[in-house]
Amino acid sequence: MPPRTRDLTDPDWWRSAVVYQVYPRSFADGNGDGIGDLAGLIERVPYLRRLGIDAVWLSPFYPSALADGGYDVDDPRDVDPRIGTLAQFDDLVAALHAEGIRIVVDIVPNHSGSGHAWFRAALAAAPGSRERARYVFRDGLGADGSQPPSDWVSHFGGSAWTRVPDPSSASGRRGQWYLHLFAPEQPDFDWSNPEVREEFHDILRFWADRGVDGFRVDVAHGLAKDLDEPLRSYPRISRDVVPDDGSDPLFDRDEVHEIFRGWRRVLNEYDPPRAAVAEAWAPPSRLPLYARADELGQAFEFDLVLEPWDAERFRSTIEGALERARVVGASSTWVLSNHDLVRHASRFGLPRGTDLSAWLLRDGAEPVEDRALGLARATAGTLLLLALPGSAYLYQGEELGLPEVADLPIAALADPVWERHGHTAKGRDGCRVPLPWTTGGPSFGFGAGGAHLPQPSWFADFAVEAQERDPGSTLAFYRAALATRAEVTIGEGVTFGEATGHVIEVIREGGWRSITTFGSPAPLPPGEVLITSAPIAEGILPADATAWIRDPALAR
């Protein structure tokens, strides 16, 4: 296997790429209105080049009412005017490609936004119409239809059904109900309708024609649903209870794979073929199905984000993920943070077993996070994952070691989770606070104006400007780690050293190994130290650290 390449014609780039997730509204604000935008992102392309990433994954930038951070897409073929224009999107693609950096865009096929032209037409049309058949409209239960069609609940809390006015009634009589597995502003498409399938093929082509290199597929496991009458009872939403035989009415059904085989045919119309990665919270045994070569190619491995900082748990999860990718000829994906999760620098600084949602409700006051410990583990974890075969997905701000903003004031919360859960969960805003670029200024250099979510004063300490001055900073570490990864041979072969309880040893082709300590120190094996996540002294790797070591003896 040749080393990873920035050659834009390489069809296999995604197998070992370092992909950096940009949540566009919070990355950089080019015009000072408090909302991150494409102009701000284009200005920061040199920053991304210096970081050493292979690709950007851009979270939704489409026109949206922002009922769910942009995952309520009102027009999947345009750019939100607050974020930019299609011409600027083309400029972004050109600017990234000029640096050998690829671009992956988010595609949201389970639902649209409620402002989408199709949904507005569906509301205006009669029950049984072609317009309504693109979504999931049903009559209510009970004599007057006042009960939802089933007991299904929304992922964000409350019923998954919302009733609409009857369009034929001037007096506002109430009519049918529509399905939304997420917020009411996110009506679900009916994927048994060929018109929906054609539409998404067309959307894929729209962006692939503009030079997009890949797609991150939102809620990939949710598209196929058992909508046969009578609707089955399903009063919960949880990955834990999705059976591993495809029999669930809403998630991970077998029919979903035929949809993605159709997508693969579209993606393969391009040279090189466009890449794709599934966001599928499916049972682990069924995850590889989404990653098959004739489907999306990759599926996010989320198991590690649920794991505590524990050598045995990390090791078995990593081995499981590698095996799942292997059986279908895919490559694994490594994730510790994204826009839906408490940042991993904070997770690893909290006592094992902390209920993160309850912690956020207490504004992070109790238990108090140990930031130094959290950061040590976070960087050790990242360096471990970068040592593995497969691709690594980084989330903006983790290269600064940014902790979660746990004490966002209630009035600032934008995540629908807060309202829909009846004020019992704060939601995901704490990892979406605009990035600090400078140590001062109205929004720490995010833009010339404010920030759409309030930044705490301690963001100054994490600013890019401060870290660029400090060779011992987290940013300097990430840059060095990505540069080292690009230098060492990254094939797909890997073996693990003997399990010792608190150490994970990864042995790679090309004569190097990675050692990670969990909770207590360990002696360093012989060889040339390529990079460490923490200072080493007298041949000892401290607790909660990772080192990469070249050892010619391994190559023999």
Can residue 414 be called a binding residue for ligand GLC (CB under 6 A)?
A: no
**CB nearer ligand GLC, residue 67 or residue 503:** 67
Q: Is 269 a catalytic residue?
A: yes
CB of 407 to Ca ion, least distance (A): 25
Q: How far apart are CA 122 and CA 116, in angstroms?
A: 10
Can residue 152 be called a binding residue for ligand GLC (CB under 6 A)?
A: no
Using CA atoms, how far residue 497 sits from 62, 506, 511, in Å, is 46, 6, 14
**CB nearer Ca ion, residue 25 or residue 347:** 25
Q: Per-residue contact track with ligand GLC, 458 to 497, x per CB under 6 A?
A: ----------------------------------------
Residue 315's closest CA among 384, 390, 374, 386? 384
Contact 188, 155 (CB under 8 A): no
Q: Is 195 a catalytic residue?
A: no
Among 18, 37, 281, 377, binds Ca ion (CB under 5 A): 37
Residue with tokens 């006042």: 146
CB within 8 A of 384, min separation 6: which ones?
Answer: 314, 504, 506, 514, 516, 546
Can residue 219 be called a binding residue for ligand GLC (CB under 6 A)?
A: yes
Contact 308, 46 (CB under 8 A): no
Q: How far apart are CA 31 and CA 82, in angstroms?
A: 10
Contact 221, 251 (CB under 8 A): yes
How many H helices and E strands in the chain?
16, 18
The active-site residue out of 209, 254, 269, 487 is 269
CB of 415 to ligand GLC, least distance (A): 8
The active-site residue out of 72, 218, 369, 399 is 218
Q: Is the peptide bond before 367 cis (omega within 30 degrees of 0)?
A: yes
Residue 390's closest CA among 6, 12, 7, 8? 12
Stretch that binds ligand GLC, among 64-72, 314-322, 350-358, 443-451 (CB under 6 A): 64-72
Burial bucket for residue 356 (CB in 10 Å: 0-12, 13-18, 19+):
middle
**CB nearer Ca ion, residue 449 or residue 527:** 449
Q: Per-residue contact track with Ca ion, 12 to 31, x per CB under 5 A?
A: -----------------x-x
Q: Which residue's beta carbon is nearest to the bound Ca ion?
A: 37
Stretch that binds ligand GLC, among 66-74, 112-120, 243-251, 478-486 (CB under 6 A): 66-74
Can residue 505 be called a binding residue for Ca ion (CB under 5 A)?
A: no
**CB nearer ligand GLC, residue 299 or residue 530:** 299
CB of 238 to Ca ion, least distance (A): 37
Task: List contacts with Ca ion (CB under 5 A).
Answer: 29, 31, 33, 35, 37
